[in-house]
Structure 1
Amino acid sequence: MANNGLSKTEKKVAFSLASVFGLRMMGLFMIMPVFALYGQHLEGFSPLWVGIAIGAYGLTQAALQIPMGILSDKYGRKPIILIGLLVFALGSLVAANADTIYGVVAGRAIQGMGAIAAAVLALAADLTRDEQRTKVMAVIGMCIGFSFALSLLVGPIVAQHLGLSGIFAITAGLAVLGMIIVQVLVPNPISQAPKGDTVATPTKLKAMLKDPQLFRLDAGIFILHLVLTAVFVALPLDLVDAGLIKEKHWMLYFPAFVAAFILMVPLIIIGVKKKNTKATFQVALMIMMVALGAMALFSNNLMVLSIAVVLFFTGFNYLEASLPSLIAKFCPVGDKGSAMGVYSTSQFLGAFCGGLLGGGAYQLVGAEGVFAVALVLMAIWLFLTLGMENPVLLKSYTLEATVEGKEQAREMATQLSQLAGVAEAIVVLEEKVAYLKVDEHFDLREARAVLGSVS
């Protein structure tokens, strides 16, 4: 099998799992730009409960993300994914039939209980070769970004014609479509990828939190999604106050997201060319801070708000795309699953806290207060990045190891560490696998010779 591109099966895996992920995330995102506007008929409606309803899925996602990944390791990826999608569909139906905002909160919380992110990424790892795994994960990541952009377009249009209940009904339908894709299009894995690459190990979670570089990134994704959710509690109401009727909000959001995606590209190119990810990262943070400052100071000026939305998404898109790859670069070799488990939990917990904070702040101090609090949080994140290191550009490999005992595993790890280009090496006896981080001087054939693998 050629190593220079995705095989036919890997392409099928990438696009089918990306579709499943994208459909589910679109279902979660569609209410963000419209709930504060179209939920006002619900009994118990208030800005605080709007925030709780928007962010409720994050709490259950955060609580169940790692356990669902572990269950997928025990009972199989596809059964857990199917159960998660079914739970997500049921939560959508509960929200669709709710007459009170509390019913919507319950439905959103149930949606979050279908926490399939870890299982989907683990299945993607199971079905792809190590050297192609990054490409498959990138396709899934791009699809999530596209689903978010599409939700900003589709959400307001669907809400205009079918109301909130229509959005939740469509969301349930998307979950069912996802289940069909999993059953019909996603291949069945013959073997599982090594646990270190995919599923979080509970005993290692504390170590992940103690790592200063990983902690900065976990705190960052927490703040990023807290700010995103809080902003979408206040921004739709603010845009109406500034003169943009709710039926036309999609005409701002979608072009703004596309423009932001184009503006993000130079940031990526500069970061790669200068080999200074930290500086580019900080520039993206400052762009978001400028946007939030403009939102707070010019909340009644539609033109300024529109420019601020473009800037906000420019910074957000860059940071959202950069953080997972930085986690992979900074995490200890063989611990990517645990590092990503903590990262995902932080992300969803941030969404819940953002809803709570955004709703509470709007109720107390209005939209300007929400944007000001978000600006302060971004400033805290910027301060945290001062101690951030530029990641060394290393490539990761996961290779089979014909190893029978602890002594042999130690000897293999020692020999691998001495090879040219190997920065870090670990051999895990229980998984019969070697995890390597290497630079451009690494020779894969030499490593395979040490491991006794068939080249």
Structure 2
Amino acid sequence: MGVSGLNRIEKKAAFSLASVFGVRMLGLFMILPVFAIYGEQLAGYSPLWLGLAIGAYGLTQALLQIPMGILSDKYGRKPVILAGLVVFLIGSIVAALSTSIYGVVLGRALQGMGAIASAILALAADLSREEQRPKVMATIGMFIGLSFTLAMILGPIVADAFGLSGLFWFTGALTIVAMFMIQFMVPYSVSKAPRGDSVALPEQIAKLVRHPQLARLNAGVFVLHMALTACFVTLPKQFVASGLALEDHWQIYLPTLLGSFFLMVPFMIIAMKKQQEKPMFSGAVALLSVALLLLWLIPSGLTSLIISVVLFFTAFNYLEATMPSILSRIAPAGVKGSVMGIYSSSQFLGAFVGGIVGGLVASHFGENSIFLVMAVVSIFWLLLSFGMQKLKKSKSFTFSTTINSEEKAEQVAELLINMPGVIEATLVHDELDGNASEKSHAVAYLKVDDKLVDLPAVKALLS
């Protein structure tokens, strides 16, 4: 098959890796719609420990994402992913067997230690061609979104039928399914995607953290997931207080989440077609702030709750879907793995902090105050978003080339950057083999405007 579509291996890799990612995130998310209710039955319960139990996975995820990606470079993608799933399974069992809130916190922290996201994304990069990689990554992103929606629906149903421990046993069973899929469905690969493009490079981290445009997105995804986790410290109780039994909550989450998906689509089309990504982005952050203020201000009747939650998830889904795309376009050529590693760590750290902040605010100021605190934080994010630069339309390409010296690499990079349509060019000498005794190699990372660039001329220069 030509470059116009995914080939058989890419389709298999996209579906199987997206399924593994989705199944694992489903296990992490299913606690959100029910734990505020069921957590009260556990020994040692307090609002702070409740928030910790909801967000504990975020801290261990944030700390281990980048190290696990580096380990997958050294020991292979599949062994590291399988090891991560085993740790996740152990965490699920610990939580299922726990009768105290402390045991559930420990189990959730262990679940987070199975931090396989970076290794899965690296394997997806290994198994796909450069021009098809965005489709594979988009499939994984879509499955994560679907897993969140499914978790909101399944969580209350499974918890009602089997209790809180049943929820964790169900998560454990899903993890075993994911392990079989990794072993028998995901194609084998020898790493062929350049390392900096798929796995975080430690030496790049500090420099990229200080990048002003990337920092805005990292702060944004931190706030987004902090708000999500904090709100679920109290949101299920708000539904119960408004007269809706927990086992019926899926009847709210299903139409609410579907409605929010339909509402966000026109905004995404306008943003892309009319080149209005920056104002639409700020508009979504503003909508998030409004939804949180409404949750705080309006009495918790069922109708007002549903309207506020639809607005919240419209903003949440729009931002969750568009931020990785914006990130990949801002990311300097050749270090997408490092950029995504920082972004993922910020996302999970936000979930952890949200759990703690939600628990602390509920303990000292009442649960409804959570919405006000998150609205204030979201407004700060809105102000920060105004400083985003307008995005240039670009595509990234990676070319392997034989270059026999550092001096030659610099000369070629200079020629590339002066070619029409080339926005950014980076040549990394000896990246592919790192062995001076063998034939020298270089990798050329290019960010281009594909309407202006002459790709045959670029390839001719590199050859």
Q: Shorter-chain TM-score category?
A: over 0.9
User: CA offset at residue 209 of structure 1?
Assistant: 1.2
1:438 and 2:448 correspond = yes
* 55-64 or 292-301, larger mean C-alpha shift: 292-301
Equivalent AA in structure 2 for residue 435 of structure 1 = Y
In the alignment, residue 7 of structure 2 is paired with which amino acid?
S
Residue number in structure 1 paired with 2:239: 239
Q: Does 1:369 align with 2:369?
A: yes
- Aligned partner of 1:335 in structure 2 is 335
Worse overlay, 412-421 or 184-193: 412-421
- The secondary structure found in structure 1 opposite 2:254 is helix
1:287-298 equivalences under 5 Å are 287-298=287-298
Matching residue's letter, 1:438: V
Partner of residue 399, structure 1 = 399
In 1: Cα distance, 2:160 partner to 2:209 partner: 44
Structure 1 stretches of at least 4 aligned residues deviating more than 4 Å after TM superposition: none
| 2:182 matched residue in structure 1 | 182
Q: Secondary structure at the match of 2:162?
A: helix
Find out whether 1:412 has 2:422 as its counterpart.
Answer: no
Q: Distance in 1 between matches of 2:322 and 2:361?
A: 29
Are 1:102 and 2:102 matched, yes or no?
yes
| Cα distance in 2, alignment partners of residues 80 and 190 from structure 1 | 14
2:32 is equivalent to residue 21 of structure 1: no
Compute the displacement of 1:192 (Å): 2.9
Alpha-carbon RMSD across the aligned residues, in angstroms, is 1.0
CA distance in 1, matches of 2:190, 2:299: 55
Q: Where does structure 2 lack aligned partners over 5 or more consecutive residues?
A: 432-441
* CA positional deviation for 1:408: 2.1
Matched, 1:450 2:461: yes
1:238 touches 1:367 (CA, 8 Å); kept in 2? Answer: no
Equivalent AA in structure 2 for residue 445 of structure 1: P
Residue 191 of structure 2 aligns to a residue whose secondary structure is coil
Structure 2 counterpart of 1:198: 198
Following superposition, the deviation at residue 239 of structure 1 comes to: 1.4
Q: CA deviation at 1:337?
A: 1.1
Residue type of the alignment partner of 1:48? L
Q: Distance in 2 between matches of 1:436 and 1:406?
A: 18
After TM superposition, list the pairs within 5 Å mapping 1:254-333 onto structure 2: 254-333=254-333
> Which SS does the other structure have where 2:49 is aligned?
helix
CA deviations 1:171-227 (Å, max 9, x no partner) are 111111111111101111123310121111111111111111011000000000000
Q: Which one is further off, 294-303 or 250-259?
A: 294-303
- Match for residue 93 of structure 1? 93
Q: Which residue of 2 aligns with 1:42?
A: 42
**Displacement of 1:282 after TM fit?**
1.1
- For residues 454 and 316 of structure 2, the distance between their equivalents in structure 1, rounded to whole angstroms, comes to 37
**Does the residue aligned with 2:386 lie in a helix, a strand or coil?**
helix
Q: CA deviation at 1:418?
A: 2.5
Q: Is the CA contact 1:235–1:367 (under 8 Å) kept in the aligned structure 2?
A: no
Q: Does 1:60 align with 2:60?
A: yes
Q: Percent sequence identity over matched residues?
A: 55
> 2:436 aligns to what?
none
Unaligned runs of 5+ in 1: none
Secondary structure in 1 aligned to 2:232? helix
Counterpart-to-counterpart distance in 2, 1:139 and 1:278: 24
Determine the C-alpha separation between the residues in 2 that align with 1:185 and 1:263.
35
**In structure 1, what is the Cα distance between the partners aligned to 2:33 and 2:362?**
15
TM-score by length of 2: 0.96
User: Which residue identity is paired with 1:261?
Assistant: F
* Aligned amino acid, residue 208 of structure 1: L
Range moving further from structure 2, 191-200 or 90-99: 191-200
CA contact (8 A) 1:296 1:367 kept: no
CA contact (8 A) 1:419 1:446 kept: no
What is the SS of the residue equivalent to 1:39? helix
TM-superposed deviation, 1:143 = 0.4
Separation (CA, whole Å) in 2 of partners of 1:194 and 1:442: 22
Q: In structure 2, give the amino acid aligned to 1:56.
A: A
CA displacement, residues 390-412 of structure 1 (integer Å, 9 cap, x when unaligned): 21111110111122321221122
Distance 2:255 2:46 in 1: 30
Q: Which residue of 2 aligns with 1:209?
A: 209
Which range moved further: 202-211 or 108-117? 202-211
Cα distance per residue 1:359-402 (max 9 Å; x no partner) = 11112222320000010010010010111112111111011112
Can you list the C-alpha shifts for 1:8-35, whole angstroms capped at 9, x where unaligned?
1100000000000000000000000100
1:37-59 per-residue CA deviation (whole Å, 9 max, x = no partner) reads: 12222101122111100000000
The secondary structure found in structure 2 opposite 1:425 is strand
Deviations 1:90-119 (A, max 9, x none): 100000000100000000000000000000
Pairwise CA distance, 1:247: 1.4
CA distance in 2, matches of 1:191, 1:245: 50
Provide the residue aligned with 2:439 in structure 1: none
Give me the whole-angstrom Cα distance separating, in 1, the residues matched to 2:208 and 2:294: 36
Letter in 2 for 1:446: A
State the SS of the aligned residue for 1:275.
Answer: coil
SS in 2 for 1:414: helix
Q: Distance in 2 between matches of 1:407 and 1:75?
A: 33
Whether the 8 Å CA contact 1:91–1:111 is kept in 2: the answer is yes
Matched to 2:248, the amino acid is K
1:32 is aligned to 32
Which amino acid counterpart does residue 354 of structure 1 have in structure 2? G
Q: Is the CA contact (8 Å cut-off) linking 1:242 and 1:299 kept in structure 2?
A: no
Q: Offset at 1:420?
A: 2.1
AA at the equivalent of 2:370: V
User: Alignment partner of 1:390: what SS?
Assistant: coil
